[in-house]
Amino acid sequence: MSKSQVKSQMQSNGAVRFKMNAAIKTGAMCALILSSVLLSSCSDKASDVLKPSALPHAFIVIDQFGYDPEARKIAVLRNPQIGADAALEYVPSAQVHVVNVATGETVLRVKPKAWNASQLDDLSGDRVWHVDFSKVSNVGRYKIVDPDKDVSSVPFDIKPNVYRPVFVEAVRNFYYQRAGKEKLPPHIDQPWADGASHMQDMSARRFLDKENPDTQRDLYGGWYDAGDYNQYTTWTSNYIVTLLLTYAERPQIFTDNFNIPESGNRVPDLLDEVEWGAAWLRRMQNEDGSCLSVLGRAGASPPSAATEPSYYGDASTSASLSCAAAFALTSKIFAQRRSGKLRRKSADYKARAIAAWDWAEAHPNVVFRNNDEAAGTSGLAAGQQEVDDAQRMKIRLKAAIYLYAITGEKKYHAIIRETYRSYDIFKTGFLSDFRGFEYDDLLFYARLPNADRATAKQILTKLNPKNLSDDGAYLSPITEYTWGSNSSKARAGALRSHPATRSKHSYSRGVNYLHYLHGVNPLGLVYLSNMSEFGATTSVSTFYHSWFPDGDAKYDQVGVSTYGPLSGYLVGGPNPYYARSGCCPESCGPEGNKMCKTAPVTPPFGEPHMKSYGEFNEGWPWASWQVTENSLGYQSAYIRLLSRYVEAEE
């Protein structure tokens, strides 16, 4: 798949945006230092070099948060052959031991089993062995140890509901990403406390008519979409739908004590968070039912320091259909509340969903391209949220599904039955990890009591996880590693463990994708930020985010800065298509042109697919956002997967 194809694919899925060039950093910089070896240089000043990777080279990788006592437990042992760690070598002994950390007792001896007859795994560049220690079920803290080779895993826990604290923190990430809301103790630790940001959203103006005060709108609230502070209607709608579907499947695990400002109000905190995002969508809706497409916000650290004006993009068909879907499902879930403010808002959301749909049906081809020179919108937000005709049809189908769920009207059902085969799975029969949003929509429809039975049966047959490969050195195969591969991992695991399709076997396969994100990968890295407090030994220490910028004395990097970034952000992950940004125009001057001719950062550049990751957060021209940026698309997909393996509090 070419880079342009990858960009098109990821954009159409609403999973990630492709960043435009950030402001040029002052001073020249150097490429990544790996293991204290300078790979390439562009400056003699030590202060200008990129930070070292600091990633470990673990030979025995496990889920660093641990395992449920009754779960299947498999450690991966690895001998690097290709990549930055190829000079290292480890061939396991005939037996490895599972050791209780507290007592030093060996509780199990296991013979490692070679994966694929000891053949090289091209995706990771490793030879791999599996160690199944599922027999160990007593609560405790353990290590996998190869005593003959003096090699061990990092410690991990075995205990009931082991992922609950991680789950709560992952959900709290949406609170950290709120615009227009102060982040103060006790809801956030003091080092990251900040006042309400982007209050200028209350007087946002139309980007294409900036000087006209009559275009002023109150667009307060919502979430920062990713490492920048912009917000996009279609993608925000997707996140709301994903969170609501997750809640609907297992409402008992979403309690009212996640320590957000609304905690204790007798509403599950996840629904409070959904209402925060949906309230922003309400403000983005015009009186005629249409929805504005995008809100561009200024960036600074901390977020409250971003004081430049906010601008919005015009209404579009795709944004309005996306609003219709989110409003409809919000109405359905809120209506199920026994009483209270959310139930009272259900009727309003239903009316808004219908109005957005009606406008889109009357205006089926209204497009708005942001950050597009030809459209006169250069500088409005970061990535392109507009979609092509094929994707717009799929968003229309999505809206029809959720509107049918709340109205039962035949006109929506007719559209579903006429167009559901437009999804790629019905054309090719190929299940893609890029299509998580679409599969969720189809599976939701298939489980409706008033769904067409033949259509529902076909959907369930096509989306059966038994059709998916289970063969992977790290037990979590996906279609392809691209920008946002961690999101693909989460979606692949969520499909395998979906209540509509899962079996006992697929359920256990689904958790392997969670283990991958928690450390069962070639880097032995937990792909969540700053998680030592939650039991991780090696988690993401730095990532691309405007709040935690490169070189910041407080927030840049764990172990280097005073505090490092906030915890619980899922980053994009390995991206073999990573490349530094293209050269800037001559107007950037000699220094800018010198910078843009430097080599890309290695790693991630030039590594096997699963090792195409590096610990860096530099902006232009090194473009770390292609690898280490967070996204609420990644976060919501991760929460969806994690929720399948979390229980309610005792």
How far is the C-alpha of 253 from the C-alpha of 241, rounded, in Å? 18
Instruction: Say if residue 503's pLDDT is above 70.
Output: no
Which sign does the torsion angle of CA 242, 246, 247, 249 carry?
Answer: positive
pTM (2 decimals)? 0.92
Report DSSP letters for 233-263, one per residue. Answer: HHHHHHHHHHHHHHHHH-GGG--S-SSSTTT
Question: In whole angstroms, what is the distance from residue 456 CA to residue 498 CA?
Answer: 15
Question: Is domain 164-364+377-430+442-468 in CATH 1.50.10.10, yes or no?
Answer: yes
55-80 core/surface letters (b: 16 or more CB in 10 A; e: else):
bebbbbbbbbbbbbbebbbbbbbbbb
Nearest to 342 by CA among 326, 355, 331, 354: 331
Q: What is the mean pLDDT of residues 510-527?
A: 97
Instruction: Give the H or E element holding residue 38.
Output: strand 37-38
pLDDT tens digits, 120-155: 999 999 999 999 999 999 999 999 999 999 999 999
pLDDT of 583 reads 66
What residue ranges in 574-623 does DSSP mark as E strands?
A: none
In angstroms, the Cα distances linking 529 to 120, 569, 629 are 30, 5, 11
In whole angstroms, give the CA distance from residue 495 to residue 502: 8
- More confident site: 466 or 366: 366
CB 621 within 8 A of CB 581: yes
User: For the ranges 155-169, 399-413, 506-520, which has the lowest average pLDDT?
Assistant: 506-520
Q: Say if residue 2's pLDDT is above 60.
A: no
Fold of 66-158: Immunoglobulin-like (2.60.40)
> pLDDT at position 101, please?
97
Closest CA to 296 of 366, 385, 367: 385
Instruction: Judge whether 100 and 140 are in contact, CB under 8 Å.
Output: yes
Q: Which residue has the tokens 């930020």?
A: 529
Query: Does the pLDDT at position 42 exceed 50?
Result: no
pLDDT over 80 (residue 394): yes
Cβ atoms of 50 and 618 closer than 8 Å:
yes
Residue type, 162: V
DSSP 443: H
Residue 582 has pLDDT above 90, yes or no: no
Output the pLDDT for position 587. Answer: 60
- For the stretch 314-326, pLDDT in tens is 999 999 999 999 9
CB burial readout 273-311, b (16+ within 10 A) else e: bbbbbbebbbbbbeeebbbbbbbbbbbebbbeebeeebb
- What local confidence, expressed as pLDDT, does residue 600 receive? 85
Q: Which residues contact 340 (CB under 8 A, 6 or more apart)?
A: 266, 267
Instruction: Give me the mean pLDDT over the 447-471 stretch.
Output: 88
Tokens of 453: 């039975």
Cβ proximity of 290 and 363 under 8 Å: yes
- Let me know the angle formed at the C-alpha of 187 by 631 and 633, rounded to the nearest 5 degrees: 10
Selection from 359, 386, 355 nearest residue 370 by Cα: 386
Q: Which residues contact 554 (CB under 8 A, 6 or more apart)?
A: 191, 561, 562, 563
pLDDT recorded at residue 464: 84
Task: Determine which of 18-32, 210-224, 282-296, 424-438 has the lowest per-residue pLDDT on average.
Answer: 18-32
Measured between alpha carbons, how far is 250 from 243 in angstroms, rounded to an integer?
11
In this predicted structure, which of 37-51, 223-237, 622-636 has the lowest mean pLDDT? 37-51
Position 70 scores a pLDDT of: 93
For residue 309, what pLDDT is reported?
Answer: 98
Q: How many percent of the chain have pLDDT more than 90?
A: 78
pLDDT at 585: 59
Domain boundaries, the chain: 66-158, 164-364+377-430+442-468
What are the tokens at 633?
């698309």
**Does the pLDDT of residue 15 top 60, yes or no?**
no
Q: What pLDDT is attached to residue 620?
A: 81
Rg of the chain (C-alpha set): 24
At 25 the pLDDT is 26
CA angle (108 as vertex; 106, 110 as ends), nearest 5: 125
Pairing of strands 74-80, 60-61: antiparallel
pLDDT of amino acid 513: 96
Band of residue 427 on the pLDDT scale cut at 50, 70, 90: confident
Q: Is the pLDDT of residue 618 over 70?
A: yes
Percent of the chain with pLDDT over 70: 89
The strand ranges marked E within 490-605 are: 526-529, 539-540
pLDDT tens by residue, 528-543: 999 999 999 999 999 9
Q: Which amino acid is at 72?
A: R
CA dist 235 and 636 (Å) reads: 11
Distance, in Å, from the CA atom of 166 to the CA atom of 647, rounded to the nearest integer, reads 12
The answer to whether 595 and 21 have CB atoms below 8 angstroms apart is no
Structural contact between residues 485 and 572, judged by C-beta atoms closer than 8 angstroms = yes
CA distances from 145 to 51, 99, 592 (A): 31, 7, 50
**Chain CA centroid to CA 624, Å:** 16
Helices (H), 538-631: 589-595, 625-628
Strands (E), 180-247: 205-206, 231-232
Q: Which residue has the tokens 């996009």?
A: 232
Handedness of CA 260, 261, 263, 268 (dihedral sign): negative
**Which pLDDT does position 32 carry in this prediction?**
26
